[in-house]
Each structure stands twice: as structure tokens, then as C-alpha cells.
Amino acid sequence: MRSTLCRITLGLWILTFGVAGWFFVQGWTAQGIDGRTQIMLAPAERDLILGEMRLLLKAVHGVVTGLAGQGQEVNRTQMEQVARSAGMHMAEDVNPALMAKLPLPFKQMGMSIHHDMDALADAIANKETSQQILQRLSSMTSRCTTCHDVYRFSVER
């Protein structure tokens, strides 16, 4: 009897971890009619992520504006601060329930962008050339466009 109970318990643990792992990788998704993967979110979750994306875009805009300006040394400090504001600290304290709804490739792309914003801030502080900074931005925005090509947010019903 005890052996059977242990097997059942072990089986339930394996099943629980398997389901949790599947949701961690797959997220709460559905196939969209436009060919993109729909990520199903509550309205507040959708607003939170879209707001974060807008802040990332504003950071990119701030860096590009700094590169286009005159008095490059004055702008470097502002450019560094803007890039750093969209770094990894921006991704801290994300609700685990929200993270569970996001598919793994989406999470990986998002975290890589935040990491690269910190690296961009470091590059600006280390006085990389405008061309090098633009190359970094190009690499980052290519991931942004890929993500927007692959995913869309839908409100759960």
C-alpha cells in the first residue's frame, strides 16, 4: 500500500512539473488569424507590457536623438541615462503569473533587449563611436521587429 502511494505521489509530482514546464515554454498562447502567435493576457497585463515597449522605444529614440545632436560630450551622459533606464532593472519585479503567460522565446527576446540596453549604456560611457552605437541599436531593433512579426497580444475573455 505504501509503495503504491509513493508511486502515485511521484507520478503526480512528475505530471505537475511537466505541465508547469510546458506552460513555462509555451505560455498562454493561441494561433492568430494573421499568422502570428497570440499571447493571451488580461487587459492590465497587456497594458503593462505595451507600456514597457513604449519606454524601450523612447529609450532608443533618446539615444538616436543624442547621436544626431551637436555637443556629443554633453549628450553622452543623457544618452547613457536613457539607455540605462531601459536596462535589466526595468524587468525586475515582474509578476510571475504574467511571466508564466509569456512564451519562452518572447521572454528570451525581451530579457536580451533589457540586457543589451545596459550594455549600450556601458558602451556610451566607454565612448564607443556613433557608428558602433548605431550598430548596437540596429541589432536590438532587429529583434524588436522580429518579435512584432511573430507575436501579438490579445485580451483573454
SS3 assignment for 76-135: HHHHHHHHHHCCHHHHCCCCHHHHHHCCHHHHHHHHHHHHHHHHHHHHHHCCCCHHHHHH
Please, what is the average pLDDT of the chain?
Answer: 88
For the whole prediction, is pTM greater than 0.75?
A: yes
Q: What digits encode the pLDDT tens for the residues 88-126?
A: 999 888 888 899 999 999 999 999 999 999 999 999 999
Provide the 3-class DSSP secondary structure of residue 30: strand
Mean pLDDT over 129-147 rounds to 96
Q: How confident is the model at residue 7 (pLDDT cuts 50, 70, 90)?
A: confident
Q: What digits encode the pLDDT tens for the residues 8-58?
A: 766 666 655 555 555 555 678 999 999 999 999 999 999 999 999 999 999
Q: The domain 28-155 is classified under which CATH number: 1.10.1060.10, 1.10.1040.10, 3.30.300.130, 1.20.120.10?
A: 1.20.120.10
Which residue, 61, 152, 139, is CA-closest to 106? 152
pLDDT of residue 2: 74
Mean pLDDT over 131-152 rounds to 97
pLDDT of residue 92: 84
58 is written with which cell numbers? 523612447
